[in-house]
Amino acid sequence: MQTEIQKHSTAPTEAIIAFFKASRMPYWRTRDAIKEYTNAIEIFPEYSYAYYNRGLLYRSYGEGLMSSYWGYVGKTYIDKAEADFLEVIRINNENFVSLAYNQLGNIYHTQSNYTNALYYYTIALNIDPSLSTAKDNINKIEIQIQTNERQRTITSEISFAYAKFHNGDFTSAIIHFNNVLRLDPNNREARNGLPRAEKGAVAYEIAVTSFTRGDYANAIAQYRIVLELIPNNTDAKKNLNTAWNNRIEANSNLYPAPFQGTWYHNVESITGTTPGRTIRGQVQSRTYIDPWGRTVTETRRDRDHIIPGESYTIPGGRVVYQFDGINYTYTGINITTGRTERTKTGTFFYSDDTIEFDDGSALMFLNNEISSPGGKVKFHKQ
């Protein structure tokens, strides 16, 4: 390798002067330094050192712009840097060829073009096996490629897991979530998804087994667990509906129920006030010089501003259940307007002291009275 002086030995004095003028400029004068390197190159077109240093400035300046609004301008500087490094390679000065290849690798490395980056780093290392930066960069890229491949696999496995989960294929979802956790044990999506998939798999298996042996109550309970996990799953809905109808048919002797007819509960209107809120007063300060020449700072806080709550009224209503055979009708009536606010129809199952509705809700029937579970709300026979 040549000495620092020998790197300039073939350049004329004027070119060397321009070179050193450029090399001593601070970073905020990058564009002026580029002009001086250009001047040196115009004086001596075979000036490898000037091409190399100008390429470094072009690259640094361009990459600084790439992340800003002026990214398209930054790209032109990157292209100029690449052209300068290729010119260094053409001139074939032994001091700079391996370095130029390394810099070309850096350009493509920054752009995540690992194929081209590895190509140039490898050439640089073949020319100069002692070039540690090229060796380090090759190692970094190999690690990055492995990381990227790992991340692509994780993303793919997560997508498959969710797709299988929402289709009700919990067993496959478990496999995919476990694949993710083998690659990334702390992956939040997999750690959250796996217990849900396991819960769904257990519930679905119990539901199918219970349905097969005629235990429709348990099958219904388990299918409802599945639907809590995947509310729009058509198979679970269909199976739940079949199990529900089979249970009613198998217990047809329970109908008509002893509470056939119409039952109602009046809901009183509720009047109240929303919580008020307080806006804290702002802290203000001023600093001045007193008559004795001392600096004094006074601080005060404005008074708090209290905003009172707003009054509201929830109108009273009447909730009505009509039972007829295996069917029921639920009606919600606004007492103030007399208007029906909500109506729902369906089927119910009655066993012991529980009235279970097809939507999963329930009422109690004890001592010839219908009430909510726990007895807080009582219905009256109409």
pLDDT in tens, 127-152: 999 988 889 989 998 888 888 889 99
User: Is 219 in a helix, a strand, or coil?
Assistant: helix
Distance CA 168, CA 239 (A): 12
The whole-number average pLDDT for the span 93-99 is 88
Q: Quick check: helix, strand or coil at residue 203?
A: helix
For residue 225, the model assigns a pLDDT of: 94
Closest among 161, 115, 165, 169 to 142, alpha carbons compared: 115
Q: What is the DSSP string of 56-106?
A: HHHHHHHHHHHTSTTHHHHHHHHHHHHHHHHHHHHHT-TTTHHHHHHHHHH
Average pLDDT, the chain: 87
List the single range of 241-245, 303-307, 352-356 with lowest mean pLDDT. Answer: 303-307
Name which of 288, 285, 287, 290 is nearest 302 in CA terms: 285
d(CA 336, CA 340): 11
Whether 206 and 180 have beta carbons less than 8 Å apart is answered as no
| pLDDT of 9 above 60 | no
Q: Which two tokens stand for residue 174?
A: 């478990």
Q: List, for residues 42-79, the tens digit of each pLDDT value.
A: 999 999 999 999 999 999 888 888 777 767 788 899 99
DSSP E strand boundaries for the chain: 261-267, 270-273, 277-279, 283-289, 295-301, 305-307, 311-314, 317-324, 327-334, 340-351, 354-357, 362-366, 369-371, 378-381
What element of type H or E holds 178? Answer: helix 170-183
**For residue 265, what are the β-bridge partners?**
319
Q: Does domain 252-268+316-381 have CATH number 1.10.10.10?
A: no
Question: How far is residue 161 CA from its own chain's centroid?
Answer: 16
Assigned token pair, 96: 């700079």
Name the residue with tokens 């119910």. Answer: 348
Chain mean position to CA 232? 23
> Under DSSP, is residue 47 helix (H, G, I), strand (E, B) or coil?
coil
- Where do the structural domains in the chain lie, given as residue ranges? 6-130, 152-250, 252-268+316-381, 270-312
pLDDT of residue 80: 94
CATH C-level class of 152-250: mainly alpha
b/e code 112-122 from CB counts within 10 Å (16+ = b): eebeebbebbe
Instruction: Indicate the SS3 state at residue 369.
Output: strand
- Quickly state the pLDDT bin for 1 (edges 50, 70, 90): very low
- Fold classification of 6-130 is 1.25.40
C-alpha span between 279 and 302 (Å, rounded): 10
Cβ atoms 317, 341 nearer than 8 A: yes
| 152-250 and 252-268+316-381 have identical folds | no
Higher local confidence (pLDDT), 309 or 9: 309
Q: What is the pLDDT of residues 180-233, one digit of tens each?
A: 999 999 999 999 999 999 999 999 999 999 999 999 999 999 999 999 999 988
Residue 11: pLDDT band with limits 50, 70, 90: confident
pTM: 0.62
